[in-house]
């Protein structure tokens, strides 16, 4: 079974600084997709960034970027120039190339951005 591990239950960062959230996963598949979702206090789940396993280039979306290490099965999220609005729970998620697009989530990391 696929598993996703987020080893940092909580993190904090000063406004304008950079923070990295860790995620590791376990799979025997070669073709799969990885995602980071943000859940602010509003409870809404917001897709932050996605990575396709067959692409070696790390995905980037504005201030958000990933460090995808396929051999190590690691998928960390880097947030640059942190803003107060980045305060949220962040979930790492995995889906393999299969029927149904079933997402497997990590337990989440609470990120607090301090002013």
Partner 1 sequence: NAGVTQTPKFQVLKTGQSMTLQCAQDMNHEYMSWYRQDPGMGLRLIHYSVGAGITDQGEVPNGYNVSRSTTEDFPLRLLSAAPSQTSVYFCASSYADRAAGYTFGSGTRLTVV
Interacting residues with partner 1 (CB under 8 A) = 4, 33, 35, 37, 42-45, 47, 50, 52, 91, 93, 95, 97, 99-108
Which residue's CB is nearer to partner 1, number 13 or number 110?
110
Which residue's CB is nearer to partner 1, number 19 or number 94?
94
- The upper half-sphere exposure of residue 24, i.e. CA atoms within 13 Å in the direction of its Cβ, equals 6
Describe the chain by its helix, strand, coil percentages, rounded to 5: 5, 50, 45
Closest approach, Cβ 14 to partner 1, in A, equals 27
Instruction: Report d(CA 79, CA 99) in Å as an integer.
Output: 32
CB 106 within 8 A of CB 4: yes
Closest approach, Cβ 47 to partner 1, in A, equals 5
Neighbouring residues of 72: CB distance < 8 A, sequence distance ≥ 6 = 24
Which residue's CB is nearer to partner 1, number 18 or number 44?
44
Closest approach, Cβ 93 to partner 1, in A, equals 8
- Going by C-alpha positions, the residue among 91, 90, 94 that lies closest to residue 113 is 90
Closest approach, Cβ 92 to partner 1, in A, equals 9
Which residue's CB is nearer to partner 1, number 14 or number 60?
60
């Amino acid at each position: 079974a696929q598993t996703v591990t987020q080893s940092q239950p909580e993190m904090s960062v000063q406004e304008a600084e950079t923070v990295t959230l860790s995620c590791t996963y376990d799979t025997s598949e070669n073709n799969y997709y990885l995602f980071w979702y943000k859940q602010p206090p509003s409870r809404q789940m917001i897709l932050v960034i996605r990575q396709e396993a067959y692409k070696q280039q790390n995905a980037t979306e504005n201030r958000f970027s990933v460090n995808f290490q396929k051999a190590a099965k690691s998928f960390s999220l880097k947030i640059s120039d942190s803003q107060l609005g980045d305060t949220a729970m962040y979930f790492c998620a995995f889906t393999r190339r299969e029927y149904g697009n079933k997402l497997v989530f990590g337990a989440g990391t609470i990120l607090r951005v301090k002013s």
